[in-house]
């Protein structure tokens, strides 16, 4: 019988690094066991620790990590983490930990951090956005005994591991970040081959604040890490430290973290006077809306959800001519499966317009239309998503507030939200 510490390798649909994670755990003497997201959650109490693996994001059509964060298995993971057991989230696993509030560890697991679209910046210019893969240097920026996963590394030491993600840029309110730095929760930071930390690409591969690659909770037993230590023996120290932490009785720290995040406000939406709105519907089934609807249904909300893409196109010349040219490019919608529609308002329905605070998609389309297609007279393009929420039962406003509190429609740290009706 294997007496080694048993580690549940948590797999959601789309996970693709379970084999590497199993191998990494076995190399350091742990006993990893694959655990599917839909198995009975009470079985988790028999494990000594947990790794939520990376891969393609499960049902994350709303936002990476958020659908999985609302899954019943994460309720039990929170219970296990509160008992002091170590929990490591890698890549999509890190996104799940962030969206579930397990890191940075605020009271009642309130969401305090966002992981959003990569932004590669060099010499003050954005040189790339979205998915990126490379090898990155991660510098240990906390005391060795601060975290369950750092006990076998020295402060200032760095390891070289792969990364591959599209939404790995940490965004943290400045006041909270200061507290996390003082609390030694900013565990790993991107550095160059000489160990020097610079926020310029390629040293910082995704534009993360403070060059963050991994952060832990206040107690030090939960860590969200965007790069992939399991894919190389150079990352084995992460897993051997986890083993040491368990064998020493899960010695969590006495650190605490408090932060009163400002309440997010939802203003009424008003388009700019020089703007035209295009609201895009789908001809085919909208799987994004289905994912969000199913997640909310599992939480007991009697609602219906539809989704539309929203473009706000500002022009400073002949509007009709410019819009015709934009339409002809096919840049803003695919006429084979989408069409320009309007925002409908059925009974007991309200609509929320959600935009990224840094609208990478809108900026990219603006540059494509003005530079590639050489269309003059466009001053700005903004992209958003309209979520149409129909409440089928219960108090209308109360149900809407409950849905907003799940953060399934937007993360207030990385998005802005407007009410359309």
How far apart CA 102 and CA 55 sit, in angstroms, is: 19
Bridge partners for 135 per DSSP? 162
Give the residue numbers annotated as catalytic, written as ranges: 91, 228, 230
How far apart CA 323 and CA 313 sit, in angstroms, is: 8
For 37, counting Cβ atoms within 10 Å of its Cβ (0-12 exposed, 13-18 middle, 19+ buried), the class is middle
In this structure, what DSSP letter does residue 256 have? -
Asked whether the beta carbons of 229 and 188 are under 8 A apart, the reply is: no
Asked whether the beta carbons of 258 and 217 are under 8 A apart, the reply is: no
Neighbours of 270 (CB within 10 A): 9
Chain center to CA of 233: 26
- Look at the alpha carbons of 149, 224, 7, 159 in this order and tell me if their dihedral is positive or negative: negative
- Look at the alpha carbons of 153, 154, 155, 160 in this order and tell me if their dihedral is positive or negative: negative
How far apart CA 28 and CA 139 sit, in angstroms, is: 21
């Amino acid at each position: 019988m294997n007496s080694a510490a048993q580690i549940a390798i948590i797999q959601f649909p789309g996970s693709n690094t379970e084999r590497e994670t199993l191998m990494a755990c076995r190399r350091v003497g742990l006993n990893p066991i694959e655990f599917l997201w839909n198995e009975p959650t009470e079985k988790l109490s028999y494990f000594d620790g947990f790794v939520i693996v990376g891969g393609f994001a499960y049902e994350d059509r709303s936002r990476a990590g958020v659908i999985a964060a609302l899954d019943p298995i994460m309720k039990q993971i929170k219970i296990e983490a509160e008992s002091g057991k170590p929990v490591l989230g890698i890549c999509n696993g890190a996104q799940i930990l962030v969206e579930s509030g397990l890191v940075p560890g605020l009271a009642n697991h309130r969401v305090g951090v966002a992981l959003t679209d990569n932004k590669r910046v060099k010499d003050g210019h954005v040189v790339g956005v979205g998915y990126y893969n490379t090898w990155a240097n991660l510098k240990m920026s906390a005391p060795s005994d601060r975290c369950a996963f750092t006990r076998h590394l020295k402060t200032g030491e760095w390891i070289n591991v792969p990364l591959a993600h599209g939404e790995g840029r940490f965004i943290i309110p400045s006041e909270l970040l200061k507290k996390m730095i003082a609390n030694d929760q900013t565990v790993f930071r991107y550095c160059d081959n000489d160990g020097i930390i610079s926020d310029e690409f390629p040293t910082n591969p995704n534009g993360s604040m403070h060059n963050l690659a991994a952060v832990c909770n206040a107690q030090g037993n939960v860590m969200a890490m965007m790069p992939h230590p399991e894919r190389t023996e150079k990352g084995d120290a992460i897993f051997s430290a986890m083993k040491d932490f368990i064998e020493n009785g899960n010695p969590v720290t006495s650190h605490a973290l408090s932060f009163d995040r400002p309440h997010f406000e939802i203003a009424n939406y008003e388009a700019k006077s020089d703007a035209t709105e295009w609201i895009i519907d789908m001809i085919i089934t909208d799987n994004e809306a289905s994912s969000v609807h199913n997640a909310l249904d599992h939480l007991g909300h009697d609602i219906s959800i539809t989704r539309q893409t929203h473009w706000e196109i500002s022009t400073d010349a002949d509007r009709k001519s410019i819009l015709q040219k934009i339409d002809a490019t096919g840049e803003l919608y695919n006429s084979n499966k989408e069409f320009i529609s309007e925002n409908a308002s059925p009974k007991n329905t309200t609509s929320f317009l959600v935009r990224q605070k840094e609208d990478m998609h809108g900026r990219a389309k603006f540059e494509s239309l003005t530079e590639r297609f050489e269309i003059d007279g466009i001053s700005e393009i903004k992209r958003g998503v309209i979520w149409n929420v129909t409440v089928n039962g219960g108090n209308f406003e109360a149900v809407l507030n409950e849905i907003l509190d799940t953060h399934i429609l937007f993360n207030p740290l990385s998005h802005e939200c407007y009410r359309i009706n």
